[in-house]
Structure 1
Amino acid sequence: MPVRRERADEIDKLAARTPGPLSRRLRANADRLRKIADTHNATAQTAEALT
């Protein structure tokens, strides 16, 4: 899901300009979005495969 990866990149850029604990939370959120995208890519099936 490119949308999640793009959003994760945006959050990382924001985290780079944000101080302390908020930066850590933003980076954790970006990491979570990437993990979701990785899981989706690993388990996604095409419509043809489901029929």
Structure 2
Amino acid sequence: MSKHKSLGKKLRLGKALKRNSPIPAWVIIKTQAEIRFNPLRRNWRRNNLKV
């Protein structure tokens, strides 16, 4: 990817990076395992962002 990105693209990539993390363990405990995983989880090789 090019070094010089537009601001909008850079912000969207940054948001996707922050969103791509597992949920904390305390959330699983607090919700009594109703919420077990992050549905927004993404792998860079398998899933493409539509940016």
TM-score bucket (shorter structure): 0.3 to 0.5
More helix by share: 1
If the length of structure 1 is used for normalisation, what is the TM-score? 0.36
